[in-house]
Structure 1
Amino acid sequence: MADVVVLSTSIVRPDRADSEPVKIHLTPWDLFFLRSEYPQRGLLFPKPDPETDIIPQLKSSLSLALTIFYPFAGRLVKTENENDETASFLVNCDGSGVKFIHASAKTVSVNDILKPVNGIVPEFLNRFFPANGVKSCDGESLITFQVTELKDGVFIAFGYNHMVADGSSFWSFFNTWSEICLTGVNRNKNLSPPLLLRGWFLDGIDHPIRIPISETVPPSSSPVVSSSLLQEKVIRFTRKNISELKSKANGEVSSDDRRISSLQAVTAHMWRFIIRNSDLNPEEVVHCKLLMDMRRRLNPPLDKECFGNVVGFATCTTTAGEMVGNGLGWAALEINKTVGLQTDEGFRVFAESWVKEPKIPDHVGVSNSVIVASSPWFNVYGNDFGWGKPIAVRAGPGNTSDGKLIVYPGIEEGNIEIQTCLSSNVLEKLSTDPEFLEYACVV
């Protein structure tokens, strides 16, 4: 068992803050994550030069980055409306700062993470992540960082409030932070360019949105899958694998159909073989849920750099029998069609109906579902704080459930890696399925 020793805990505030704090009202898509645990990600770096004191450098550059991405340094404010037993939420960008933890795990080596026993993501890694079990509704710091120094490396991990930002916005912030730490300035040569906020873009919906107080607290009993029954492995698809899967999927569908993308082909491959190895009855309903960036799908579209949380769920539904009885192209085309249905109109119809009867999901894994999160297009491996680029990326235990697939770019250009959380017996079958492994490998 790895001994993780917390050396210090502090608050890092923006280098400067506006005298009049901006207040960000939350949309239905933000509030959808009210009970969601903080998503957690972490980057493994080589060991810095022993003469380099990295903590002051990380803190000072983080302070500058928070001056640009000021919403992260704010606080979630809950207002209870006694007249109608509802509550409203907003983000007050008051510069209160973010939590920063410095820890040490000198018995852990880089290879303990890169080459774990049987390929299973080690349990000790959970202790390298901050904000374990913290939910969006009760998190004080909208981001928490933990820097853990290892025997021969450094692990920089974070957990963030999904109501404030999605993965696209978070990685933009992280890229800026690492660039400032490396060079002292960001590429714009200006430490405080105006942040392009998503803003409020739903005409006709009053805000702040009022939610019944009963919906803002977790139910007394939530269905929870025992974590002892779940395991995680990282599945790698090489550029060659991906090209072959994409070609195979497109070759199995009519030329009149939409073209299957690389990610759709990879997702379909994962979904098919997870279902095939789950021993489900043919009539059982199965789902594939994809978190999608909706910025460019709105009308008018939002700028792709727009800060905030602008994600939607695309849910593809079929039966285990149909999945097993059809090929890769069929599954990929079902995903493709579902993605194509995510439009501005549907996004807004959901919001308009949701505010009439707000329901906050518990974000516990749904039976017989895979949930695809993150993106292979995030700039993960471009982050260099001054002692080298990352050598691996991992997800923490927050916001994870049976069937969760967290997608990253591979360290080699064109590769895709998927941190896969499944019940131990399904994951073991998947890991030894020769047809699955024809296009994938366990890291």
Structure 2
Amino acid sequence: MGDVVVEVISKSIVRPDESYNEESDRVKIHLTPWDLFFLRAEYAQRGLLFPQPDPDTHFISRLKSSLSVALNIFYPFAGRLVKIENQHDGTASFHVDCDGSGVRFVHASAKSVSLSDVLEPADGHVPEFLKRFFPANGVTSCDCEGISDSLIAFQVTELKDGVFIGFGYNHIVADGTSFWSFFNTWSEICFHGGFDSDHRRKFPPLVLRGWFLDGIEYPIRIPISETETPPNRVVVLGTSSSLQEKIFRFTSRNVSELKEKANGEVSADDRRISSLQAVSAYMWRAIIRNSELSPEEVICFKLLVDMRQRLNPPLEKECFGNMVGFATATTTVREMLNNGLGWAALQINKTVGSQTNEMFREFAANWVKKPSIILMNGNEASSNSVVVASSPRFNVYGNDFGWGKPIAVRAGPGNTRHGKLIAYPGVDQGDIEIHTYLSSAVLEKLSTDAEFLKHLCVV
């Protein structure tokens, strides 16, 4: 397509509805080591493509009214991240002030774009114009803008024959599990027009994450230098204009075949490889095979893991907050290519299994002694690393605001780099879609790799 014009129709702040009591409901959320680990991360951004609503539904006002009710339930999103600098010792501390300040809401229009332009791009890559449908491009948790900005932001863009709802949220405040719980609630409120008190009662009060490591004093103080984003970020493979995006779909049949193959290649004791682990291993092997790395090169695979039920005592499954751990598998190119799918999947399986209560607590205790904040697009990002975020278990396609369920899901800018894979459920039950970020050179080879294409289809 030519240059896409995105016209901003309105910008507003949506606050929790009138039942939110700023004094009694105002909560201060102290941040754990794992929250603070994400201080330099950009806002995670996702978006859903919907059919066109009937103009008579006044869908923008309905979205904002229902969002106001949803923020009354998920009130941390309507708060602000506060930074306190302790000049006497050169440290800073952070907390979330649930002050009801509200969230950014942008209404935009891109009438030259049709659903088919998003779903069936001419070159097969995720179209470049899609980046302009997201509301928090470049916003980082610890930047000045991130601290004064809302902790979640929305952009609703009207297309020629559809609507795209893009959103970005601060990973310090919530992980994918908490975000989709909020989004599911918002869409349900909007669908039912449940803006009255009777409807609100059906939603239980929010359960905040109650976990904090014994023996760690809070607020945690970290060196101010660690909280500042370096002015000159290191550019690595795939973080420049060479980075391209493509979506690969594994049908339920593809997934079953890969899972069966992976489990068939390991011992009976190890036959517990999941669908996502099998698909992830398949992607990992194919990317490495097409990356022209030397056999001795050390390679890593990282997967975000929900820790709620892995802690002792376990947290409630629906508790709100950021409770993810990084499971990391490390091997060499030679070892990867000399072994099959089952072996690679088993490495992922083992590292997921290693995410235990003891490991998580050890990480937190050590982190406080020597704080280290990840820089998603900096030195930690390399051509040797594959990272999988999100989950095909999230309820993405059940979100109906009143004019139909989503047609597609897309990831937006933020924390993207070569080797980043974002896993979603497909539209059809049992399908898995992988939104893939790779350097153009690797993606070109991958897209013509007959062995790779045998078990999937390109969206």
- TM-score band, normalised by the shorter chain? over 0.9
Q: CA RMSD in A?
A: 1.3
Tell me which residue corresponds to 2:107. Answer: 102
CA distance in 1, matches of 2:199, 2:34: 31
Question: 1:279-298 counterparts in 2 under 5 A?
Answer: 279-298=292-311
Tell me which residue corresponds to 1:8. Answer: 10
Query: 2:253 is matched with which residue: 231, 240, 251?
Result: 240
Residues 40, 227 of structure 2: 8 Å contact kept: yes
Aligned residue for 2:268, secondary structure, equals: coil
Tell me which residue corresponds to 2:291. Answer: 278
Shift of 1:258: 4.3
Tell me which residue corresponds to 2:65. Answer: 60
CA distance in 2, matches of 1:345, 1:361: 22
Shift of 1:129: 0.5
Residues 64, 191 of structure 1: 8 Å contact kept: no
CA distance in 1, matches of 2:242, 2:269: 44
Residues 25, 200 of structure 1: 8 Å contact kept: no
Residues 67, 192 of structure 1: 8 Å contact kept: no
**Residue identity in the other structure for 1:182:** F
Shift of 1:317: 0.5
Residues 41, 394 of structure 1: 8 Å contact kept: yes
**Residue identity in the other structure for 1:25:** H
Residues 154, 165 of structure 2: 8 Å contact kept: yes
Residues 34, 163 of structure 1: 8 Å contact kept: yes
TM-score in terms of structure 2 length: 0.95
CA distance in 2, matches of 1:259, 1:359: 34
Query: 1:411 is matched with which residue: 427, 442, 452?
Result: 427
Query: 2:208 is matched with which residue: 187, 197, 220?
Result: 197
Shift of 1:194: 1.7
**Residue identity in the other structure for 2:14:** V
Confirm or deny that 1:166 pairs with 2:175.
Answer: yes
Aligned residue for 1:90, secondary structure, equals: strand
TM-score in terms of structure 1 length: 0.98
Shift of 1:185: 3.1
Q: In the superposition, relative to structure 1, how do residues 60 and 243 fare at CA in structure 2: closer, same or farther (>3 Å)?
A: same
Q: In the superposition, relative to structure 1, how do residues 417 and 270 fare at CA in structure 2: closer, same or farther (>3 Å)?
A: same
Q: How many residues are matched?
A: 443
CA distance in 2, matches of 1:305, 1:84: 38
Residues 142, 229 of structure 2: 8 Å contact kept: no
**Residue identity in the other structure for 1:359:** S
Question: 1:242-391 counterparts in 2 under 5 A?
Answer: 242-364=255-377, 365-391=381-407
Aligned residue for 1:333, secondary structure, equals: helix
Shift of 1:190: 1.1
CA distance in 2, matches of 1:366, 1:28: 24
CA distance in 1, matches of 2:400, 2:214: 41
Tell me which residue corresponds to 2:438. Answer: 422
Residues 295, 301 of structure 1: 8 Å contact kept: yes
Could you tell me the percent identity over the aligned residues? 73
CA distance in 1, matches of 2:389, 2:443: 18
Deviations 1:42-100 (A, max 9, x none): 00000011222211000000000000000000000000111211000000000000000
Aligned residue for 2:66, secondary structure, equals: helix
Query: 2:235 is matched with which residue: 224, 236, 246?
Result: 224
**Residue identity in the other structure for 2:61:** P
Aligned residue for 2:269, secondary structure, equals: coil
Deviations 1:204-242 (A, max 9, x none): 100000010010101232212443101000000000000
Shift of 1:191: 6.3
Deviations 1:359-418 (A, max 9, x none): 112112233111000000000000000100000000001111110000000000100000
Shift of 1:119: 1.5
Deviations 1:123-175 (A, max 9, x none): 00000001100001131110010000000000001000000000000000000
Shift of 1:184: 2.5
CA distance in 2, matches of 1:60, 1:165: 22
Deviations 1:300-352 (A, max 9, x none): 11111000000000000011111111100110011111111110000000000
| Runs of at least 5 residues in structure 1 that lack an aligned partner in the other structure | none
Name which of structure 1's ranges 249-258 and 341-350 shifts more when overlaid on structure 2: 249-258
Residues 179, 383 of structure 1: 8 Å contact kept: yes
Residues 45, 155 of structure 1: 8 Å contact kept: yes
Name which of structure 1's ranges 358-367 and 170-179 shifts more when overlaid on structure 2: 358-367
CA distance in 2, matches of 1:213, 1:199: 27
| Runs of at least 5 residues in structure 2 that lack an aligned partner in the other structure | none
**Residue identity in the other structure for 1:222:** R
Residues 110, 150 of structure 1: 8 Å contact kept: yes
Shift of 1:193: 3.1
Aligned residue for 1:296, secondary structure, equals: coil
CA distance in 2, matches of 1:440, 1:163: 34
Tell me which residue corresponds to 2:186. Answer: 177
Residues 43, 156 of structure 1: 8 Å contact kept: yes
Residues 37, 399 of structure 1: 8 Å contact kept: yes
